[in-house]
């Protein structure tokens, strides 16, 4: 149904990278979710009242909260689609992540409410009625929720949507919740054993787990997660294959919503190039990366000197010490010059997170190695953390 509706209401519906298409899918799936969840709420509430089952009634209100979550998702997509302005120069794309986080919060809240009601029914259970109509409604509910899971999971992966992924996780947990509620009625009908409150508590735990997982999915990009390896590799390849570039380092990617990245990097160029030539290379790189990866790009140029025998020996020594510190360690921005009558070696030492050595210990070890190599050397070392 979603595919059919998308073909009718969304222009160029297969162009998933287009911001307008993403927004349209978010609104479309949200509207469908509201309608289906409200119908499920009405049906399950009737079934819960007929059967006097707290687990079925709790499941009904869970569906009502899902309809509310769809409203929040739609609002998130609409806000995320708003253009950049003076207060938000990088756009409103993170509103989508916030919407996913709010949806997760409603899931967690509903889990606690269902758990509270279920505990009361454990100590004061009601008589149940497992009539065929109730079981039929629950069976239909499971099928509908499986469908909601399927389209949110599929579309959510295609457009990389945190709210849709949260809804998909919630939907599959709802299937388990409804199935266990139906099982409680069947157990009562067959053996006259009332496990309704216990099943309701189990449903609450399942929903709570789904809410926490959905919250993690939305919170991670808000905190500033690492860009995908393929994205970083693509940028590195583009820079390294560009004419006049000797190397790349200090690559950072800041995300302001799906498809809204700000990229900065340092590119090494031959020191003999003029300022004008370096500027032209930087401009060319910024345009190429921005067009290819849909990002705002800033390129900083670092001049790289041709090594003489002495500086080559210093570089080799530093690289050897760095490899002893960590196989992942590296150096960049290496340069040598006269300062105050002494030969100065300046470079950035890039090390991974989690090393047992402190930054000061790394500097001391490198400085000692250089002094042993030539006691006239002064070292100016900046420690960088390896991100990509």
Q: What is the pLDDT of residues 273-292, one digit of tens each?
A: 899 999 999 999 999 999 99
Query: Which pLDDT does position 264 carry in this prediction?
Result: 94
Q: Tell me which CATH code domain 240-299 carries.
A: 3.30.70.1350
319-331: pLDDT as tens digits: 999 999 999 898 8
Q: What is the model's pLDDT at position 287?
A: 94
Give, rounded to a whole angstrom, the gap between the first and last alpha carbons of the chain: 41
pLDDT greater than 90 at residue 375: no
| Alpha carbon separation from 86 to 255, 295, 382 (Å, rounded) | 18, 19, 35
Domain segments of the chain as ranges: 2-223, 240-299, 309-386
- pLDDT for the residue 300: 93
| Top-confidence range, 3-12, 236-245, 329-338 | 236-245
Q: Are 26 and 18 in contact (CB under 8 A)?
A: no
Higher pLDDT: 351 or 160? It is: 351
The predicted model gives 59-65 an average pLDDT of 77
Instruction: Say if residue 1's pLDDT is above 80.
Output: no
pLDDT of residue 305: 67
**Given this chain, do its domains 240-299 and 309-386 carry the same CATH topology?**
yes
- Burial letters for 213-249: b for 16+ Cβ neighbours within 10 Å, e otherwise? bbbebbbebeeeeebeeebbeebeebbeebebbeebb
User: pTM score, two decimals?
Assistant: 0.67
The fold for domain 309-386 equals: Alpha-Beta Plaits (3.30.70)
Residue 307: which pLDDT band, with cuts at 50, 70 and 90?
Answer: low
Class of domain 2-223: mainly alpha
Q: Is-contact 324 312, C-beta < 8 A?
A: no
What is the band of 297 on the pLDDT scale with cuts at 50, 70, 90?
A: very high
> In terms of pLDDT, which residue wins out, 147 or 19?
147
Question: Which tens digits make up the pLDDT trace of 123-138?
Answer: 877 776 667 877 888 8
Indicate the pLDDT class of residue 91, thresholds 50, 70 and 90.
Answer: confident
CA 12 to centroid of chain Cα atoms: 26
């Amino acid at each position: 149904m979603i595919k059919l509706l998308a073909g009718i209401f969304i222009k160029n519906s297969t162009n998933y990278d287009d911001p307008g298409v993403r927004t349209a899918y978010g609104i479309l799936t949200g509207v469908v979710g509201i309608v289906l969840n409200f119908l499920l709420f009405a049906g399950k509430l009737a079934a819960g009242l007929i059967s006097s089952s707290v687990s079925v009634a709790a499941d009904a209100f869970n569906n009502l909260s899902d309809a509310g979550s769809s409203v929040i998702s739609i609002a998130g997509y609409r806000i995320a689609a708003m253009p950049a302005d003076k207060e938000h120069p990088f756009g409103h794309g993170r509103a989508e992540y916030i919407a996913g986080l709010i949806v997760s919060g409603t899931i967690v809240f509903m889990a606690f409410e269902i758990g509270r009601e279920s505990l009361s029914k454990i100590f004061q259970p009601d008589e149940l009625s497992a009539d065929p109509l109730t079981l039929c409604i629950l069976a239909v509910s499971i099928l509908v929720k499986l469908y909601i899971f399927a389209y949110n999971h599929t579309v959510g992966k295609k457009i990389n949507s945190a709210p849709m992924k949260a809804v998909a996780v919630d939907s599959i947990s709802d299937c388990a919740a409804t199935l266990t509620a139906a099982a409680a009625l069947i157990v009562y009908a067959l053996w006259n054993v009332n496990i309704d409150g216990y099943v309701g508590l189990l449903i609450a735990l399942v929903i709570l787990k789904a809410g926490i997982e959905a919250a993690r999915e939305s919170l991670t990009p808000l905190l500033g997660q690492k860009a995908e390896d393929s994205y970083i590799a693509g940028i590195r390849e583009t820079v390294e294959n560009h004419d006049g570039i000797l190397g790349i380092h200090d690559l950072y990617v800041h995300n302001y919503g799906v498809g809204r990245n700000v990229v900065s990097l340092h590119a090494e160029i031959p020191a003999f190039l003029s300022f004008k030539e370096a500027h032209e290379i930087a401009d060319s790189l910024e345009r190429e990366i921005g067009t290819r990866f849909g990002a705002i790009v800033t390129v900083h140029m670092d001049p790289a000197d041709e090594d003489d025998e002495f500086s080559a020996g210093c570089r080799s020594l530093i690289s050897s010490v760095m490899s002893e510190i960590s196989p992942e360690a590296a150096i960049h921005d290496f340069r040598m010059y006269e300062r105050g009558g002494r030969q100065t070696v300046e470079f950035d030492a890039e090390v991974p997170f989690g090393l047992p050595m402190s930054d000061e210990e790394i500097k001391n070890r490198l400085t000692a190695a250089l002094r042993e190599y030539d006691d006239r050397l002064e070292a100016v070392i900046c420690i960088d953390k390896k991100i990509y």
